[in-house]
A = this chain, B = another copy of it.
Amino acid sequence: MNTAIAHTNIALIKYWGKQDEQLRLPLMSSLSMTLDAFYTDTSIEFADEDKFYLNGTLQTDASAQRVFTYIHKLQALLNLRPESVVIKSVNHVPTAAGLASSSSAFAALAGAFNRLYKLDLNHKQLSILARIGSGSASRSIFGGFSIWKKGVTSDDSFAYPIDENPTMDLHLLAIELDTKPKSLSSTEGMKLAKTSPFFNHWLEANDSELDAMISAINNNDFTALGELAEYNANEMHAINLSAKPGFTYFVPETLKAIELIHTLRKNGIECYYTIDAGPNVKVLCQLKNVKDIQKYFVSEFNNVKIVSASFGPGISYLD
């Protein structure tokens, strides 16, 4: 078996719009933190028939279709034998709840595919392959902080690490408020977002927001990083609310979580939120406050699940 392990990542500067649907070329550059607590391991081998097992269960739905569409696309792109494969993935990420399981899933799948065909791809090439499966997967090839520069062609749109072993005291609490599958997929949400009259103006700010985030990282400035990450997420959700028609991934508990984060911050427990295409909230904080923040969320929410994460590694292989 050819097995790869990739960790999920959370964007601090969001990817939220495609210039090319097929190639998943983005309209903006994004910046993320790879997480240690959430990952996918994926094995692949040649077989008589295409089969995809997720967490031990054979999949026959849209997720299997997406996986094999991806595999066939890679085989065509790289002029490889179009053989059938069996894929076995174990997803250590709650799926489809805004925790970006597709980032680790397609990064691991790209890695396993690389091994299967003995392609010996470098990380840049792997990042491009992963991107074709799921945009955010391009960043999960690397650990620590990485940037996915938008590029203008497929060969030019890939992630690269800016700090694979960060020393910043930065922790992420994934607050699972609601793990129901999201009502609107990221793909559909991104399409709709482009109808916002503010969308293009948001794009214009992409370079300066990226530069400001890189400075925060270089200066080891948690406050600047947190404020900008929260601000960038607010912009993304403002874009959604002002789309035609407006929509939101927020549910009532999302707002309650935002209120709690504001209250904690007012009371000297420094923390910030980021929110992706789903109802859940991720809290950015420093180690000294992790336990307190967990405590407050547990006391405010019924049945909340909280996973604490910090920096995760880039892609690796089981030999």
Contact = CB atoms under 8 A, between A and B. Distances in A.
A202 B199 CA distance: 12
A237 B240 CA distance: 11
Query: Which 10 A/B pairs are nearest by Cβ-Cβ distance?
Result: A252-B252, A234-B246, A238-B242, A198-B198, A238-B238, A238-B241, A252-B255, A252-B256, A235-B242, A234-B241
Contacts of A205: 197
A234 B230 contact: no
Interface of A: 196-198, 201-202, 205, 227, 230-231, 234-235, 237-239, 241-242, 244-246, 248, 250-256, 258-259
Contacts of A254: 255
Contacts of A201: 197-198, 201
A14 to B, nearest CB: 13
17 contacts: A196-B238, A197-B202, A197-B205, A198-B198, A198-B201, A198-B202, A201-B201, A227-B245, A230-B245, A238-B238, A238-B241, A238-B246, A248-B255, A248-B258, A250-B250, A252-B252, A252-B256
A255 B279 CA distance: 12
A201 to B, nearest CB: 5
How many chain copies does the complex carry? 2
A251 B255 contact: yes
Contacts of A258: 248
Contacts of A251: 255, 259
B238 A198 contact: yes
Contact of A255 (B234, B244, B246, B255): B255
A284 to B, nearest CB: 15
A234 B241 CA distance: 6
A237 B241 CA distance: 8
Contacts of A255: 248, 250-252, 254-255
Contacts of A259: 251
A248 B255 CA distance: 9
Nearest to A245: B231
A274 to B, nearest CB: 12
A246 B198 CA distance: 15
Given A231-B244, A254-B255, 16 more contacts: A196-B238, A201-B201, A231-B245, A234-B246, A235-B242, A238-B239, A238-B241, A238-B246, A241-B241, A248-B255, A248-B258, A250-B250, A250-B255, A251-B255, A251-B259, A252-B253
